Structure formats: structure tokens, C-alpha cells
Structure 1
Amino acid sequence: MTRHIPLQGVENFRDFGDYAAGAGRMKKGLLFRAAHQAAATDADLEAIAALGLVAIVDLRRAQERQREPSRRWKSFAAEVIDNDLGGEGDDPWQTFLRGWDHSEADLRGYMVESYRRKPFTPRHVDLFRRYFAVLAKARGPVLIHCAAGKDRTGLLAALTHHLAGVSRDDLVEDYLATNDPERYARIGEGIGRYLAGYTGSVPPEAAIRAALAVEAEYILASIEAIEAAHGSIDAYLETVLGVDARTREAIAAHILA
């Protein structure tokens, strides 16, 4: 089954529902994830509008939103969840790139460490809390996205899958669906030029592919950090993100068939 929704100017757009979840199944057409929509075409906007989104969670930093503002469709009325917390100073990713030696090992080391921090960053905690509060309202489809739709978005999708009762294997499988060979063919050259703006030269193809990819060890690093700090993902959801028993029940009623 293909989950990707092909669009011209929005990468990595896909449905992350329709997974077996305990004794039930996640609904299809309710939960979507993607990269930014700054380059969305008019046709893309029509396709996204047809989904009937009631909320969009933009996980990007303020500077990212300003640099690549989202395009919206006519009569746009969805709730937009974002924040400017921790917006001062350089983006950690850009800081890393300025010193990156183009080695895959250096990149993977940075990514693992960043994933260990993601669940506890105040900016993420605020956005994640508000996202789950929206799901508990049971009003309609929701889109979550960041810049590339793979890291911050991947973590929030994984937390949603865990809450729904999706197996760890399926959770990781959905996360790894970002590794689409056709995606590299479309944007690999442009990403190489983007990286060169920070590193001083275009990285080798293997390094560019690594920068575009996700690895199971990344999302597992977040999960392990959560479990080390709170004992379980469920405890983290409740004590950090405010997803108590009543909220879980409301979310389950909304996203499970």
C-alpha cells in the first residue's frame, strides 16, 4: 500500500494512519505528515485543501518559517500550531553543518545526539502538547510537518503511533518510509547545493544521501532517551505532554476505527 501523496512542490507528504493498532486499526485519511509547503503549487494547495484539514502543526523554528513561509489555499481556516520558543541563536543543524567534515559517521553521530534531545526541548514539548490536545478534540484531519518532514515530524508521528497501539516494527517502518529513492532523484542535487552553502563545497553523493535519509537508530535514540528519563513512553506522554487517561481515551476514539 502506498501512503505517499504525490505533490509537485511538497515533499514527503503521506498518510501515517491505517496501521494495525492493538485490537483495532488507525483510521485512514485523518493523520498526515509532510515537509514544508513553501513551494506548493496551486494544484498542490487544491489537493491539500481537499483533505479537509482542521489543524496544521508547524514544527519549524521561527527563522525557518520566515525563510520559507507556508503557502495556503483560498478560504484557509485550519488552526495553525507553531511557536517561537528557543528561537534565538543559530539553528543547531546549521551550526553542525558549518563544521561538518562530510563524513557519514560525523553526520550520524550528530543525528543520534539530536534525537536524544528532541523529546525534551521546550519548543517541542509545547508543540507536541498542543498537537495531542487537538487530536483529543476529535474535529477532523491534522497535518504535522517540519522542514523536510523527517526528523521532528518523524518523532511526533512515532509518539502518535505508540499512543495508538501500533507495533514498534510498524512505527519504525513508517519512520523509514522517508527513505524514498525517487525523492533523492528529485531533490538530491539541490540539497547538495544547499549543504555547500554551509560546508563550503558540495559533499560527496553518499554524504548527501545520508543527510536526506533517516535511520532506525535515530528514532530509537529518542525512544531510549524517553524511557531512560521517564521509564516508559506512556509516562512521558502523561507527565511531560499532558496526555492523561481521559485524553488518551478521547484521542483513541478519534483516530482508531
Structure 2
Amino acid sequence: MAKPILDDELWALIEPLLPPPKLRRTRYPGRKPLDNRAVLTGILFILQTGLRWDLLPREMGCGSGMSCWRRLRDWQAAGVWEQLHEVLLARLRAADQIDWSRVIVDSSSIRAVGSGPKTGPNPTDRARPGSKHHLVTEAQGIPLAVILTGANRNDVTQLLPLIDAIPPIRGVRGRPLRKPQVIYADRGYDSEPHRQQLRARGIEPVIARRRTEHGSGLGKFRWVVERTHAWLHNFCRLRIRFERRADIHEVFLKLGCTLVCWNIFRRTEQSF
């Protein structure tokens, strides 16, 4: 039996977060709206396979690709994925799976088909159009926040925005986690002004310095964020950016992070 694209437990978390359907007219009600679960199944299928929207199989029962695209856009505007991410982070913290001893930041460049907002010449790909995924994780690699920019943006410019983008992590009684104590980063984030700003916030920066020998030992801690990038790129839609609209690609990024959190949470449950 094939593994379902959207399992019942995850759907039970997502369904209460979705906005209520629009009221239908009584005299001319029109076509009945598509079922939310079927539409979300189609969206996840596009995320996993990387297919074009117009190639979405009708046999799946999720309507046309454009219907799924419009529903994805509307759910993004309603903040569904940010809420789902916070719910999953809270569950992970309640299961004692959040290691707040440090956070790690890193970026990954991808090719963009065509141009559009938040694209730029990729210096690692012969100046072809590209985008960059900036990611911050906790000590075990659980994604906390992600930002999309053009591929020509320097990593250090997104260091402070990534810290600001970390959502409050609840799950236990008391103050939610928000500000990390230590941040690890590679040489791309080497900047004395940024170190000073982090210390002013009460965060200790552990950042490799340029023009120094390798072997600082930071790789023993930073590899987890590279693994998380690899997890995200297992979703074919995140390996290459096909969307001209930046907000749609950002939706897929956030959805990918929530699925990574969900997979980690499920493994945690199965280990008990």
C-alpha cells in the first residue's frame, strides 16, 4: 500500500488553522468548492515532485493546478503556515526535542528559471539567475526560520533578520523561547559590526574569521544546518525556483520547514 501524501495526524493539526470557506449564494450557489484536504494533497504533490501546476493529475481528485495555486496563495495570506510552524515547534519543545544551547545559520543557492523578485545573478553559477535560502536551526537541525533573497545577496546581510524571524517557541509553562544565547556561523558571516550588534542583544557570536586557517572546529556544530538544507532540497520544488512570484516560493519554503519539523516529531513519537 502506498504511503499517503498527507497523513491523518498532520491533517488534524492543519485543518483548524485553515480559514473558513466563503459563504455561498443561495440563489445561484455555483460550483461546490473543492475539499481543503484534497487541495492540500495536490499542493504537497507539487512540492514533492516539482511538477508544473498544469500537470497536476486530475485523477488525484484535487481539482486543477490553478485551483490549488489560488488556495495556496490565500492560505499564505492568512498566515496558515507560520501558525503551523509554531504549533509544531511547541510540540517538539513539549517533547524535550528543542536544544536551545545554540543556533546555527547558513545559506544555500538555487537556480531560478527566469527572473522575478528576490532573484539575482548567482556568483556560483556563472551569474545565472538564482535565489538564496537563508536558514537558522537549533542545535539539532530543527528549522526555526527561513528567508528568501536573490543569490547575489551576501549572507551576513540576513544574519540579524534571521534572528528576528525566529518565532516564539512555546510548549511548556513559562516564557517562550525567542532569543538564542549562542549563534554559530561560517566565514560568510564574518563582520565585526554584526558581532557587536549580537552581543548588544545578549547573544554570543561564534563566527569563523576570514583569512584564517581552517580547522576551527566549528564544523562539528554547523553540519546540522547543512543537513537541514539537504532535507529541504529533497522536495523537488525547492531545488530549482520555478515561481516568478517570490511569495509563492516562500510558501513552499515554509511548508518544507513545517514538514521537516513534522518528520522529526514523528520519529520522536516512534522512539518512545
The reply to whether TM is greater than 0.5 is no
Higher strand proportion: 2
State the TM-score bracket (shorter-chain normalisation).
under 0.3
Q: What TM-score does the superposition give when structure 1 sets the normalisation length?
A: 0.26
Larger radius of gyration: 2
Q: What TM-score does the superposition give when structure 2 sets the normalisation length?
A: 0.25
For CA contacts below 8 A with separation 6 or more, give which structure has more relative contact order: 1
